[in-house]
Chains A and B, each alone.
Chain A
Amino acid sequence: MKMKLRILNNFICLLFLVNISCVEEIPIEAETFESLLVIEGIVTDELKTQQIKISKTYPVDEDFPESLSGANVRVRNSNGSIFSFSETSPGIYESTDPFQAQIGIAYVLEVETPTGFYESTPSQVDGKSQIDELKSFKTTNNFGEVGVGISVSSSGAGAVNKYYKIEYEETYKIQAPYWKCCDLIIDENDEIVSVPKTREEYICYNTLKSQNINLATTNGLSENNLDNYLVNFISKEDVKLAYRYSLLVKQLEIGEEAYSYYETLSNLSENESIFSQYQPGFLSGNIKSSNTSENVIGFFTVATVDTERIFYNYTDYFDPTEDFRPLITAPCDVQFYEDKEVLKQLIKDGRVKYFSEDPPGVFKVIRPACVDCNYFGTNQVPEFWTEE
């Protein structure tokens, strides 16, 4: 999205051969604030502890969502079963027992808070689609950037149109710019000494959940299959690509109503053309207050899920001797401090780390991020991680 805006910006400005800023970010000011209830829940066909999130809206110039505690949450289905939920952390409600959504059965979410009672319209899913293939390939995106794309192909059962929300979780390997043996500490004699590192600081991993709304449908296609739907694209300048990258694709099959809700949410949160803007307005979901006309934000839906994981390496697509690997951090200048007291203070503050010791007792130091990958991820190897 950011990319799109930048390009648009250039496009318009260059069209008229004037270097002007046509789209600029402005600070958000809170004009008015209205506190509304936000309910988010997707119950899947995986047998697991299902989760419902309840929060409240917060002012546009603040950063922290306000979770809503103390609600009674339950899910009913058309067979008469009731699944109760309990709050496990503020605003997060998990089913007391694991359960799974069943195909062809309607589910309703009920939420009771001190101020009201809220209920969703029934939601059901009628099929389950399999991911046939996840594929990575070198490509160029719309804006002319070279990188690696991942596409999904899947086949849907039955003749009805399929609606998908595709979520993913990306995990990538991080390598600190330098491998070093040691750390610097101040010993009991108030001397700077080097000691071997006690933890892995060279290779780490970071995992991110998808934040954008990825939707796909077979509505309007001649087959009920998704064929090479582009899930994600990473530019070769992106550090995620630098060593080894893995993507877990979670394909949720949802109903048409849920699909159009997410589609509108996505339309309202992006800007395709600076000349014409989508008319903003309140987006009604499928959750309503049973006793008041209060607006409630959010959507409750059931979904069938299929997941698939893929790995690839930078070297699968690029030659590091020609296309240099993107750096996790820069600059990484080696520093030397004559004044030991200054150096001690920097070490105590955690502002420098060991780089070299030559001659013994004379240390060169560097910015910690250049020798410790934990700044960017975790040194714990994920369970699913495989090398080659």
Chain B
Amino acid sequence: MKNLVLLVLFVFLSLSVRSQEQTRLDFSYADETVEDVLLQLEEASGLSFFYLKNWLPKDRFSGEFKDAELEDILDDLFQNTVINYYIMDDRVILTENSIIYDNFSQGFLKRTDTSATTITSIPTREKAPIFYEENVAQRRILTYKIGRENTGIRKRSYSLSGNVIDVISEEPLSNVAILVENERTGTATDVNGNYTIQLSPGEHLITTQSLGNASITKRVIIYNDGSLDFQLDQDLEQLSEVLLDSKSNENVKEVFTGTSQIDVQRIKTIPLVLGERDLLKVAATLPGISKAGEGSLGYNVRGGREDQNLILLDNGLIYNPNHFFGIFSALNPFTTGSVDIYKGSIPTKFGGRLSSVFDIKTKKGNPNEFSGEGSIGPVTGNLALEIPIVKEKSSLIVGGRATYSDWILNALDDPSLSNSEASFYDVIAKYNHQFDAKNELNATAYFSNDQYSITSDSLYRYQNRMFSLTYDRKLNSNMDATLIFSNSNYDFNIDYNTEFANSFTSGYIIKDSKIKLDIAHEINKKHTLNYGLSSKYYVVDPGKIEALGNESLVVTQELAQEKGLESAIYFSDAFEVNEKLLINGGLRFSIFNSLGPDLVNSYAPDSPKNESSILSQTQYGDNEFIKTYSGLEYRLAARYFLLEDFSIKAGYSSTLQYIHTLSNNTTAAPTDIYKLSDANIVPQKATQYSIGFFKNFLDNEYELSLEGYYKASKDLLDFETGATLFLNENIETETLQGEGKSYGAEVLLRKNFGDLNGWLGYTYSRSLIRLDSPYASQRVNEGEYFASNFDKPHDFSAILNYKLTQRFSFSANLVYQTGRPVTYPIGKYVFNNAEYVVYSERNKFRIPDYYRLDLSFSAEGNHKIEKLAHSFWNISVYNVLGRNNPYSVFFVTTDGEVKAYQSSVFSVPIPTITYNFKF
């Protein structure tokens, strides 16, 4: 009851606190303890902090501030702690629990000088009382004393008045209910956000309630008439954003199963091959996301193929976010803000791919100050700049990355290598314009280019191009509208140049333009709707070959353009049935029109499709509907709190995919062709059931989740052995469409903060395919289910970061996976004077298991304020154990003899040093 004694001792006049002229500063910290942040802040601001070490929590926090007042930084830093602070000239005094006020009663002032500030207020820390909103469950109730206690006559009631504003937009909030707990009284704010309420002297709990804003409860002790203002946070749920807050119970609370987030700030010390920070590689260490091998392009999510992932960069589609056979990802780590991955239940606003959505968002540039970040590594150089355009309104962020490996190859003496090349670059620019608190425009442009040649007569090139415009408008406090336009392009070229007459250049292009309107609408406390519509127009140039050089006799051949229109309308409702149960259910109706012009074959229904079974051919005119596919996709997700920090979630989702890659390789390659569904190739379909348990321990320091899923897919595209895919007019004669099923259990244990943090993930999963047909040539493995090329039942990953001191940290990354399936020969035979192997059942054997340990050590430069640039060195060793992990096993007929070879991509430890700098 020491608190009460204090309360009695000191009397206050006002609540206005911490008013002082402040210099504005830019400041950021990632995954650091409060103490570290304070030390950095001292350097950055020149202030001195006074506190007792044992007051400070051990949790780690991240934050980023541009041109912010010191108070904003401190408010944010301490918002989930019991620390309060008081700024006095160049000193900052921290207090535990208490608030230091700088207005005192007259009598008090007489007694003391100003330096003798005194502890005055007593917030109490409470454990989530029932009247709390979940998203403020961790928040303390602050106690405010209202009015000067009058020694004279005490009135029956006093009036409390004040103003309620939105903390972000600083706009007054009308119609906010001001309720007095347990007293059946209350009022509401007027148009200007003002309220007045009569309260009896003594203690009351006042709670605000409104749509779109979080509730706040404050304890007031009424001594006299007075005022109390409220600043309300926006409601997290209404924004439906996944916060990357390091101390959050989001994983337990969120309704969707199978979601993963990558915190871009946190991955900076994770060791990765050749010093390239890589968001997608980090994603692959999470359960349910894997790659077929080190040199394979793309990702397999919950047993799905590489082409079943919708990869969105600022709402625009990226067809191939990989450089150099997937060894590097084509996303600039410095400009990327967040990556949200949906692998279980997919929100209705996304569609068009069966397995997952990678929703990647670029950072917004700093609108106030020029800054930059860069790195120099053994393979690439990378530079990102944030450029203010109109102060506090608009900014530009640009990032560029390029290899220098090409120069290295060219510098080598070996003639066979100096003719080879492998180079890539990618550039991104995002412009952000904040018209006002309600209107915001973002424009992103992205380009990536890869070029490589393996023999001197051929040159491969591929490019991604993407442009997107996103216009966000807050229609009112309950409704947000987003209008998106995007345009994406992917193309590849193969040039073959010989001394003979068959030199050619060939190419492939896919383009799409999309328009989408998305509305998030909070009807009331219980129902939050999300609805919208989108339409996407595809144009594909499926293949072209033409002569290269004057001597070439190659005739130009070009397949007819393919066109398609994929549209969708969707609706979902996040329904908070009660405090424990949240249901998000929705429907997405998607429709695909295959458009002319095209000459379409129709085949005899009871024979394999080939030239002789063509019954008739129909010519369709330009933009005429050749074939229309449509379907209703169901998305349902539910979360139920078993305990405050323990939830169970379940999801069901069905998806449709109207675009397919054609590949007759065992792993995906950049030259895989995207084909639209047409009269003879039907869309792929999948349904997924998932369930998960999510538990947080020790105040969200540890997160544990267990998820299970079963996914069934239909009409997956495969090919007959030896199918020709490029420049094939009648591709349907060589395709097989089969069924897939995959299932698995995923365990993830994550430690979010502390000097040692990271995660352990284990997945047991299977991914199976069945290709059956009445015709033997179209049957694989007797029409039975067999393991897909990326079926890896056991997959274990561990990522551990250990912060030694403020400047030095270690990271380790351990991976273990079952070897992937391969097709092994069942015998040899002699043919054409040489030996050949005969293959029978597909994927019956496995290459040896894969395991790898990577280590890295990071040293940061000191944080002196005068320094031009902050720098940090990263030394990492990929594959420390030197494990020769086989990537594939293959059989080659050489000089008439069969030989077996095993290839591996990184078979020895690979040390790299990267220098990173920031200014």
Contact = CB atoms under 8 A, between A and B. Distances in A.
Contact of A23 (B721, B831, B901): B901
A209 B325 CA distance: 38
A275 B555 contact: no
Interface string B828-855: 1111111011111010110000000000
Contacts of B888: 274, 277
B904 interface: yes
A12 B378 contact: no
A272 B892 CA distance: 10
A270 B63 CA distance: 54
B107 interface: no
A283 B831 contact: no
Interface stretch (A57-65, A192-200, A357-365, A370-378): A57-65
Interface residues on A, range: 35 or more
Interface string B125-158: 0000000000000000000000000000000000
Interface stretch (A82-90, A112-120, A222-230, A318-326): A222-230
A25 B900 contact: yes
Contacts of A283: 721-722, 838-839
Given A16-B274, A17-B408, A269-B891, A297 B900 contact: no
B231 interface: no
A57 B890 contact: no
Contact of A282 (B378, B839, B898, B904): B839
A269 B837 contact: yes
B777 A284 contact: yes
B665 A276 contact: yes
A80 interface: no
B910 interface: yes
B827 A18 contact: no
B825 A60 contact: yes
Given A32-B826, A144-B419, A269-B836, A17 B722 contact: no
B905 A11 contact: no
Contact of B555 (A53, A139, A220): A220
A60 B827 contact: yes
Nearest to A34: B826
A38 B416 contact: no
A211 B898 CA distance: 12
A22 interface: yes
B829 A55 contact: yes
Contacts of B498: 230
Contacts of A14: 409, 412, 414, 417
A227 B417 contact: no
Contact of A227 (B553, B777, B904): B553
B296 interface: yes
B296 A1 contact: no
Nearest to A33: B827
A330 interface: no
Contacts, number: 252
B546 to A, nearest CB: 10
Interface in A187-236: 209-213, 220-223, 225, 227-230
B824 interface: yes
A309 B894 CA distance: 25
A7 B907 CA distance: 17
Given A36-B829, A220-B554, A221-B555, A274 B903 contact: yes
Interface in A255-277: 260-265, 267-277
A281 B545 CA distance: 28
A229 B721 contact: no
B617 interface: no
Interface stretch (B207-215, B449-457, B805-813): B449-457
Interface stretch (B25-33, B382-390, B499-507, B618-626): B499-507
A21 B907 CA distance: 7
Interface-centre pick from A26, A65, A268 (highest chain B CB count, 10 A) = A268
A34 B417 CA distance: 42
Interface string B454-492: 111100000000000000000000000000000000000
Contacts of B557: 220
Contacts of A53: 830
Nearest to B837: A60
Interface in B333-390: 378-379
A36 B827 contact: yes
B68 interface: no
Interface residues on B, range: 35 or more
Interface-centre pick from B412, B890, B910 (highest chain A CB count, 10 A) = B890
Nearest to B825: A60
A336 interface: no
Nearest to B664: A279
B348 to A, nearest CB: 35
A28 B827 CA distance: 11
Interface string A34-47: 11101010000000
A254 B420 CA distance: 36
A281 B842 contact: yes
B889 interface: yes
A268 B907 contact: no
Given A281-B839, A282-B840, A211 B901 contact: no
B832 A293 contact: no
Interface string B421-458: 01000000000000000000000000000000011110
Interface in B318-332: 325
A171 to B, nearest CB: 15
A149 to B, nearest CB: 9
Interface in B637-680: 664-669
B895 interface: yes
A40 B904 contact: no
A260 B720 CA distance: 13
A89 B832 CA distance: 18
A278 interface: yes
A280 B830 contact: no
Contacts of A5: 892, 901
Contacts of A228: 499-501
Given A11-B417, A34-B827, A282 B422 contact: no
Interface-centre pick from B829, B844, B906 (highest chain A CB count, 10 A) = B829
A298 B665 CA distance: 23
A22 B664 CA distance: 23
Contacts of B844: 31-32
7 contacts: A11-B417, A65-B830, A211-B834, A230-B498, A265-B832, A269-B892, A276-B666
